[in-house]
Structure 1
Amino acid sequence: MFRKSIYKTPAQLRSMVEPGLITAASLDAAAALMRPGVTTAEIDAAANAAIVARGAESNFQMVRGYRHTTCISVNDQVVHGIPGDRVLAAGDIVSVDSGAQFQGWNGDSARTFIIPGEADADVVDARTRLSDVTEGSLWAGIAAMASARHLGDIGAAIQGYLEDNAPGEGRDWGILREYVGHGIGRKMHEAPSLFNYRTPDRGAEVKPGLVLAIEPMVTAGSEDTFVEDDDWTVSTVDGSDGSHWEHSVALHAGGIWVLTAEDGGAAGLAPYGITPTPVA
C-alpha cells in the first residue's frame, strides 16, 4: 500500500513560506483590534480581510461545517471558539487561531492576548502568566525540533518547560491531551500527530523536510475539557482559563525556520542560542 511521505522537498518547503507569512499577517490584524468593546466577529473579519488582501483564502473555512476565518476562544474556552457577537472586556484572555491557504499550501498559527484596560490586577497577572508560560513552552518545543531525533523529544521539551515553570502551591499547568499539534502542508492537518507531553512512543523521525504545527494548549487548572453545545468550542470543566500558542515550523537542510513568524523565529529562539536559517 502506498504511503505518502510526511517529509517535504526543498521546493515544497519554499512554497510554504508565503502562506506562513499571510497567516502571521492575519494574526497581526487580529492583534490590532484587541481592546474592550470589540466583538469576536469583528476580529474574525479583520483577519479574513488580511488574508484576502494577500491573494489567499482562509483554510479554516474549508473545514466542513465551519464558515469562519478564525477560532477565537475567551477565558475558560481553550480552543475552537466560534467568532460572533461576544464583546471583549478588559482583562479577558483571548486566544486567536488562524490559517491561510496560498497556491495550495497552508499556514496555521495561534496567539493569546490579554485585553487591556481596568480589570482585577490579580486576574490579569494570572492570565498573563498563563499566556507567557504557554508561549514559552511553544518556543521550547520549537528549539527542541532543531536538534530532536524523534517527535517525542519535542513533546517532552514542551512538558518539561511547563513543569519547570509550574504555578506553584503544589499545582501544575493542565496540558490538553485530546488536542495536539500536527503536520501541515497541502492540507492544514496532516500526519504526524505531535503530542504536547511525554509519551512512551518516540514518534516519527525528525529530519529535513518535516513541517509541524506546534501548538501547546494549556489551562490554569485541570486538563479536563468538554465541547460546548455549538459542537466546536472546547472549554475547561473546572472553569479555569486557557491559552493557545502555535507556529508552523519547517526543518530543512540548512536549519530551522518558523514559517508563521516574520523573523523566522529569531527572537523566540535567541534564548536557546539558535539562529534560524531561511528556507532556500
Structure 2
Amino acid sequence: MIGRRRGVELKTADQMRQMRRAGLVVAQAHAELAEAAAPGVTTGELDQLAREVLARNGASSSFLGYGAGFGLPPYPAVACISVNEEIVHGIPGERVLADGDLVSFDFGAIIGGWHGDGAVTFPAGEWTPERRRLSDVTRDALWAGIGAARLGGRVSDISHAVEEFIESCDDHEFGIVEEYTGHGIGSAMHQPPDVPNYGRPGRGPKIVEGLCLAVEPMITWGSAETATLDDEWTVVTRDSSDAAHWEHTITVTKRGLWVLTALDGGEEALGRLGLPFGPLAD
C-alpha cells in the first residue's frame, strides 16, 4: 500500500525497489547516449536510441505524451534533449550536433507503474573549458544537494545546499534557474513536494523513509532569465548563454543515501564525499 503524509507519497521497500529498476533504465540510457553523442548526430537519432533502451528493458516512457492533461501539446519524444542555450525540455528532431555542443539529456522510465527520472550534461565532441566548467558545477551542486538529505531533515536543506555550493564558486557568477525545480516522484513522475535549487534550510516537508525525490539543478553561464519557444516546451536562456542540467532520483534509508538513477546507486560519489551509502537489500 502507498502511504501518504500531508499529500506526500511514501513508498514501501518493494515499491522503492521497483523505482530502482526504473532508475537503472535511466542510468543505462544516460551512458549510451553520452557515448553516442557526436558531431553529425541528430538529436532525433539520440531519441531513437533512448526508445531502444526502453524497449530492451520492457520499460515505458515517463515523457512521451506528457502534458496533454495540462493544457500543453503532448510531448512527442521519450527524451528531452537540450543543446547549448536550451535549458530544459528541448524536443529532439533534425538538429545536427556540432563539435563542442553542450547537450543536456533528461530521461524518464516506468517499470511496473513506478518512475525513475534523471538528467546529465555531456559534450558532443570536445568540451570548451567554459562548458566543461558549467557542467561540472551543475553536477557538483547536484551532489551537494543530495548530500544534504538525511532522515529527520527538511526538503529545503537540499535546496539550500545546492544554492550554497553554486555561490561558493568564486571563479564565475553562475545563474540558478528558479522557475523549474526538482520534485517528488513515485507512482507519477511529478509529485509533491517541489525541490527548488535555492532557499533557506529547515523548511518544507520532513525527509522520512519512503520519500523519493528528484533533485535537479539547472545552472546558466549568464543570466538565469528564461523564455519558452513557440513549441511550448523548449526553455532557453534569454541572453542565449549556455545552460547545464543534472538530475538524480534519490531516497534516504536508515542506512544512508540511495541514488536510484546511478548505475552504482551512488556508492562511488557518496564515498568520495564521506557520506553513507544506504541501498535496500534485494
Q: Same fold (TM over 0.5)?
A: yes
CA contact under 8 A between 2:82 and 2:103: conserved in structure 1? yes
RMSD: 1.6
| 1:259 maps onto 2:263 in alignment | no
The equivalences for 1:116-131 within 5 A come to: 116-117=125-126, 124-131=128-135
| 1:153 maps onto 2:162 in alignment | no
| Aligned equivalents of 2:8, 2:120: Cα separation in 1 | 29
CA contact under 8 A between 2:118 and 2:247: conserved in structure 1? yes
Deviations 1:56-92 (A, max 9, x none): 0111014121120100000111100000000001111
Q: TM-score, normalising length from structure 2?
A: 0.92
Question: How far is 1:213 from its partner?
Answer: 0.4
Equivalent of residue 135 in structure 1, options 139, 152, 160: 139
**Change beyond 3 A, Cα 1:148–1:84:** farther
Match of 1:102 in 2: 111
Q: Aligned with 2:144: secondary structure? A: helix
| Aligned equivalents of 1:238, 1:5: Cα separation in 2 | 37
CA contact under 8 A between 2:25 and 2:53: conserved in structure 1? yes
Match of 2:71 in 1: none
Paired letter, 2:137: V
**Change beyond 3 A, Cα 1:167–1:229:** farther
| Aligned equivalents of 1:3, 1:239: Cα separation in 2 | 40
| Aligned equivalents of 2:54, 2:150: Cα separation in 1 | 29
Equivalent of residue 165 in structure 1, options 160, 163, 169: 169
Match of 2:188 in 1: 187
The equivalences for 1:1-280 within 5 A come to: 4-63=7-66, 64=68, 65-117=74-126, 124-146=128-150, 149-168=153-172, 172-199=173-200, 202-280=203-281
**Change beyond 3 A, Cα 1:271–1:177:** same
* Range that drifts further, 231-240 or 195-204: 195-204
Q: Hey, which bits of structure 1, 4+ residues long, moved more than 3 A?
A: 2-5
| Aligned equivalents of 1:11, 1:217: Cα separation in 2 | 31
**Change beyond 3 A, Cα 1:141–1:225:** same
Q: TM-score, normalising length from structure 1?
A: 0.92
Any gaps of 5 or more consecutive residues in structure 2?
A: 69-73
Question: How far is 1:148 from its partner?
Answer: 6.4
**Change beyond 3 A, Cα 1:85–1:12:** same
| Aligned equivalents of 1:274, 1:199: Cα separation in 2 | 22
CA contact under 8 A between 2:38 and 2:98: conserved in structure 1? yes
State the identity as a percent.
Answer: 45
